Structure 1
Amino acid sequence: MIRESIGAVPLRLRARRFRVSAWRSRVRARVPGGPALPHYISQASLHGQRGRGFYRQLVRAGTGARPGAMAEWGERLAGVHGVLLDISGVLYDGGEDGGAAIAGSVEAVARLKRSGLKVRFCTNESQKARGALVGLLRQMGFTISEGEVTAPAPAACLILRERGLRPHLLVHEGIRSEFDQIDMSNPNCVVIADAGEDFSYQNMNKAFQVLMGLENPVLISLGKGRYYKETSGLKLDVGAYMRALEYACGIKAEVVGKPSPEFFKSALKEMGVDAHQAVMIGDDIVGDVGGAQRCGMRALQVRTGKFRPSDEHHPEVKADGYVDNLAEAVDLLLLHSDK
């Protein structure tokens, strides 16, 4: 039985390559509410009920974490059966060279999938077609399939078909292929997404002219984020340009993507989990956290991607928890979700 003192950990536990001396010297990840826990512990083979039990003992006794703080996390995450993961800013940071995986995120996703929890990816990515995005993530080492990703462009195509809408597209070249089967003759709506360098005056004005020429103008926006983070820094997102067209045309855009409740509900349906059994993990306090909570889900914000310290003091949205990165979120989920 493990005693409260780190130095009293039995030899049979130390034999599992978790040497006492290393606990103090190889500090790489924080346990909420307590001292540091070496990140390499969470990367080890702690799978299945036996592994989870050993990990709990390490957290509770070996690290000296405050029992009250761990109990709070237990209450927040108890009964979670499914996890929705944002992609940009949680799994990786994009960039002109394709971007880079965030430290620990590849293994964190793998651990989640091995745990038995249901996992789905929910993204507002609108510069890359879903297949291209999945291909990029696979190159980085993530185990992910196209069918596991809920993305706004395919969802928008369903809406266009159902309502007989013919769009004028103001989108990035990377997602135009998603609309190949959509009739775009004589447009009766505008679809706007993160067009990047294609957000020129000429292109914005053309979208404005199409909308002003319609008796009942329809503007569909793939997400409404303010900004996102790439390896080179922060970038303006589609929300700023969506607001400009709303203001100029005197209309309200229909948002397809986070934080739209319909978008979250679609992802939950695909995952086969009720909202109260799911948790969203994202870097956007409004789009990810606020949107998920309005649907009845729990939500954690990571301190990676677009996260800003002021997010923890947002006047309207408070996450169910804040974690340094996806790896820490997975540590907590595997510790508490089965309670």
Structure 2
Amino acid sequence: MGRFVPKCVLIDLSGTVHIENSIVAGAARAIDRIRKSGISFRFVTNSSKESVASLFTRLVGLGVNLSPGDLFTSLTATKQYVLRRKCRPMLFLEENAQQDFKDVSVVDPNSVVIGLAPSMFNYEKLTEAFNCLKNAENAELIAINKSRYLQRQHGLVLGGGAFVAALEYSTGLTATVVGKPSRKFFEQSIADFEGVVVEDCIMIGDDVQDDVAGAQAIGMKGILVQTGKYRPGDETKINPAPYLTLPSLVDAIDHVIELHSNGCET
């Protein structure tokens, strides 16, 4: 059997490193450990409610040691997609998140970009998005992610995926999903790590579908952590099962560092 030695680690944020404005126990220390180990890593997040700058500031305030280059977000990937496609989107986003699209033309929209926007999830705004998609020629529905649900401090809450599905149903369009579990998103997240391919990577997250199944579908290994949105039995919901299911990011980073130091029979 070959020996697997990880060259790169992708780490989810919400539910894995933090839950809203609280750090997950031990997460900051675990991140310090992976940084000192010399293993390449990046935070990959489907967060779409706030700008990258706002997210960065919040994480630093929680005691997370990171630099702007450590983050790859679905907002960033979506902006790149919109510019590449020359879309003029209606931004179905919270005002904070719209800051990342300041240099994108939104005049005479021919598409809708939708993320987690609780203040806009109402009949009037959804109807506005619906009409934009029905009236524009070759309209495109662009989902920053299609998250089913996420963890807040008081419990689970609906993700943006339910509202993407509503627009899909009413317009007859199929959304382009830019963030996790998109193959392109994972590939973009490691593109500037020289000599790293997907088979060299481990993804760590609390979402068995978007984090783990998505990563494993393209050849990465996936570690499911039992924090955030994780619920007992989640590890049985995908095939193949997660490479590992561990209590927290602390345990996942310990395992990665051990693999990197000693190698492991696959």
TM-score computed with the length of structure 2 as normaliser:
0.95
3-state SS, counterpart of residue 309 of structure 1: coil
Give the aligned partner of residue 146 of structure 1: 68
Give the aligned partner of residue 104 of structure 2: 182
3-state SS, counterpart of residue 165 of structure 2: helix
Unaligned runs of 5+ in 2: none
Q: Could you tell me whether the CA contact under 8 Å between 2:223 and 2:242 is conserved in 1?
A: yes
Q: Could you tell me whether the CA contact under 8 Å between 1:169 and 1:190 is conserved in 2?
A: yes
Give the aligned partner of residue 65 of structure 1: none
Structure 1 residue 83, shift from structure 2 partner: 0.4
- Whole-Å Cα distance in 2 between the matches of residues 333 and 208 of structure 1? 45
- Whole-Å Cα distance in 2 between the matches of residues 172 and 137 of structure 1? 19
> RMSD of the alignment, in Å?
1.4
- Whole-Å Cα distance in 1 between the matches of residues 3 and 114 of structure 2? 36
Deviations along 1:61-97, one digit per CA (max 9) or x if unpaired, are xxxxxxxxxxxxxx89831111000000000001xxx
Structure 1 residue 186, shift from structure 2 partner: 0.4
Structure 1 residue 278, shift from structure 2 partner: 0.7
Task: Note if 1:81 corresponds to 2:46.
Answer: no
More contact order relative to length (CA 8 Å, sep ≥ 6): 2
One-letter amino acid matched to 2:19: D
3-state SS, counterpart of residue 269 of structure 1: coil
- Structure 1 counterpart of 2:253, from 297, 322, 330: 330
Q: Could you tell me whether the CA contact under 8 Å between 1:84 and 1:121 is conserved in 2?
A: yes
- Whole-Å Cα distance in 1 between the matches of residues 221 and 197 of structure 2? 11
One-letter amino acid matched to 2:205: G
Task: Note if 1:118 corresponds to 2:44.
Answer: no
Task: Note if 1:225 corresponds to 2:151.
Answer: no
TM-score computed with the length of structure 1 as normaliser:
0.75
Aligned residues: percent identity?
A: 34
- Structure 2 counterpart of 1:193, from 115, 118, 137: 115
Give the aligned partner of residue 9 of structure 1: none
Task: Note if 1:203 corresponds to 2:125.
Answer: yes
- Structure 2 counterpart of 1:300, from 204, 223, 229: 223
Give the structure with higher Rg (CA): 1
Alignment of 1:100-139 (within 5 A): 100-139=22-61
- Taking a change above 3 Å as real, the CA distance of residues 275 and 211 of structure 1, as seen in their structure-2 partners, is same
Structure 1 residue 233, shift from structure 2 partner: 1.3
Q: Could you tell me whether the CA contact under 8 Å between 1:190 and 1:211 is conserved in 2?
A: yes
One-letter amino acid matched to 1:308: R
Q: Could you tell me whether the CA contact under 8 Å between 2:110 and 2:137 is conserved in 1?
A: no
3-state SS, counterpart of residue 270 of structure 1: coil
- Whole-Å Cα distance in 1 between the matches of residues 127 and 239 of structure 2? 34
One-letter amino acid matched to 2:5: G
Structure 1 residue 316, shift from structure 2 partner: 3.6
- Whole-Å Cα distance in 2 between the matches of residues 303 and 259 of structure 1? 19
- Whole-Å Cα distance in 2 between the matches of residues 153 and 264 of structure 1? 14
Bigger shift: 311-320 or 81-90? 311-320
Count of residues in correspondence between the two structures: 261
Q: Could you tell me whether the CA contact under 8 Å between 2:133 and 2:141 is conserved in 1?
A: yes
Structure 1 residue 232, shift from structure 2 partner: 1.8
Runs of 4+ in 1 over 6 A off after TM superposition: none
Structure 1 residue 270, shift from structure 2 partner: 2.8
Deviations along 1:207-246, one digit per CA (max 9) or x if unpaired, are 0011011232200000111000011211111111111101
Give the aligned partner of residue 88 of structure 2: 166
Unaligned runs of 5+ in 1: 1-74
3-state SS, counterpart of residue 131 of structure 1: helix
